[in-house]
Amino acid sequence: MTSLLSVKNLKVYYPVKAANRLSSRVSWLKAVDDVSLEVAENETVGIVGESGCGKSTLGKAVVGLIKPTEGSIEFDGRSYAEMSTKERARNIQIIFQDPYSSLDPRMTVGESIEEPLAVIEGMSRAERRRRGLELMEEVGLRPDQYNRYPHEFSGGQRQRIGIARALATNPKIVVCDEAVSALDVSIQAQILNLIDDLQRRHHLSFVFISHNLSVVEHICDKVAVMYLGHIVEYGDVESIFENPQHPYTKALLEAIPQIKFDDVEPVRGLEGDVPSALDPPSGCCFHTRCPFATECCSAARPQTVQVGPSHWCACHLVTGDAAGEGTPV
């Protein structure tokens, strides 16, 4: 399958000055640290992990809102460095988490949807209005709502506006940054079904960022599990959910709430706190919270190895480096 988006060895570091104003020392917050990822045509790749793992930073870098510190991003075989800002925006768009703050309260729905058409495509007013009304109908909004303002809509309707705006330029890839997490469960289902329908209709590719694994299992083809700026496991949905290899992936899946009417088992969570990205652990970034960690886990960073036809994992217990020590994964 041909890759439409290719992320190679991506790093996004933020400089953080010392608390002492007299000191010139600068530390680096490693939000995304050496991440590689590929998205094929008409494919949905989920990015999952705890808050602060670098999911949103990775998504914003893919859209071009953040400039990478190192590494490269290619769209359809072309480096971002070779593409103009308009060309990149025409092909790659984003749907934000908060459907209210992502819309300008001073602009009507029609103006919000049409703005990319004016800035990127340079359409006339008549062409923009025609296209805007088409998009509103496609996402389930009525033409008589064209001149209304964001505060006159519900959360689900506002997210439909955000989706229409993202589709305005006919992009090839859409990044969904927690696009349904701020919505009620019933509304989430409607928006997910809309996204699924739009993908089939327009042959879109999605990068779906979420902490809700149930949603990811429903809508994604592949899943990348992130922890502290690294991808620790990657593969197709079936492999990740039915045969997880990394201890962190297993912990995330075990934490999914389940309704049981007989024996109620408490949800098992990970012990300890996520380390600071300013001072990440040596070796495997997860070893400080891993119940199977051995001495080699803190000494060297594990290599990413293939553990199945479409399944990769970065763990010493999987590669065999820690064989005979601890409990096998």
pLDDT (tens digit per residue) in 118-139? 888 888 999 999 999 999 999 9
171 within domain boundaries = yes
pLDDT band at residue 320 using 50, 70 and 90 as cut-offs: low
283 within domain boundaries = no
58 within domain boundaries = yes
Q: Which residue has the tokens 């960073």?
A: 301
Which CATH number goes with the domain that contains 159?
A: 3.40.50.300
301 within domain boundaries = no
Name the pTM for this structure: 0.89
What's the total number of domains in the chain? 1
198 within domain boundaries = yes
* Percentages (nearest 5) of helix, strand, coil residues in the chain: 35, 25, 40
pLDDT tens sequence across 196-240: 999 999 999 999 999 889 899 989 999 999 999 999 999 999 999
pLDDT surpassing 90 at residue 160: yes
319 within domain boundaries = no
The range of the structural domain enclosing residue 193 comes to 3-237
260 within domain boundaries = no
The first and second tokens of residue 2, run together, are: 């041909």
pLDDT surpassing 60 at residue 326: no
Amino acid at 281: P
* DSSP state, residue 287: T
Tell whether the torsion through CA atoms of 126, 128, 131 and 133 is positive or negative. negative
